[in-house]
Amino acid sequence: MKTSEWLKKYDIRLKKGLGQNFLSNSNVSREIVRKSEIDENDVIIEIGTGNGILTEEMARKAKKVITFEIDERLKPLLEERFEGSNNVEIHFEDFLNTDLSKFKDIPKLKYIANIPYYISSKILEKIFVESPKFEYAIFMFQKEFGQRLMAKSKKSYSPLSIFVQTYCTVEKIMDVSKNNFVPIPKVDSVILKFKPIYKYVEEIDPKDFMKFVHKCFSKRRKTIKNNLKEIIPDTEKYLTEVQINPSSRPEDIPLETYIELYKKLLGRRGAKEGS
């Protein structure tokens, strides 16, 4: 059945507040799975089962699909769609409240999902901060949001783009037209692939680094010196030690320099604790 037919059968009206724009073109879901190179040893975590169109395609290839759906109105639809399926595990709960450590023993863990725009940032932060080791994450976002994640500097640069690019390589997989969704959203989508760089996870605590970068961007129109003076008393000296002009704005500073800045701060903390 088509997406619209499934929804009509169970009299489900999609909620704007939950960011519900369901993929309706099975060719797109098949292409996502093809490009994801899923094999019979993979365990996939999906965030936002929706009507199950992507879940169904992934289940044909993967060892197991563990999928999370917050909207319990979809339960009868999904129970019918996956009746008899032995490799689809549906959790009707908020993924953001899930303890990801329970997946630590899964050797080939991957994340693949079309996630609601309004929680995209929270989901990315949760995965990078809390998830056990995973091979990659492939997510569909609104196009503008995806472009911000890949931004290297200037207008689109943000704490999240710095954070994501510190811990992952980011690769564009494909664009998806808004006409492939029900209801049709206002904008097109893009699918990105995130491959973890575990070297940095071991060197830099993700949660603490994220707090630091948010502090650097706390007042975007202010200088980096102004934003850091609350946590670093001799800010100007600290910045010049890593060859940053104290009057620079946060978006003018390259990604690698943020890593240097943070490591320098860690060094200072360690020196204070040891004195």
Element (H, E) at 170: strand 168-176
In sequence order, the β-bridge partners of residue 196 are: 168
Q: Give which of 93, 167, 165 is closest to 130, Cα–Cα.
A: 167
Q: State how far Cα 48 lies from the chain centre.
A: 13
Is 94 annotated as contributing to ligand binding?
yes
Q: What is the dihedral of CA 144, 191, 218, 132, to 10 degrees?
A: 170
Catalogue the E-assigned strands of 48-167: 64-68, 88-91, 109-114, 136-142
**Could you tell me whether strands 181-182 and 22-23 are parallel, antiparallel, or unpaired per DSSP bridges?**
antiparallel
Is 114 annotated as contributing to ligand binding?
yes
Is 274 annotated as contributing to ligand binding?
no
Is 97 annotated as contributing to ligand binding?
no
Q: Give which of 150, 173, 172 is closest to 162, Cα–Cα.
A: 150
CB 94 within 8 A of CB 119: no
Is 48 annotated as contributing to ligand binding?
yes
Binding residues: 21, 23, 48, 69, 94, 114
Binding residues for S-adenosyl-L-methionine: 21, 23, 48, 69, 94, 114
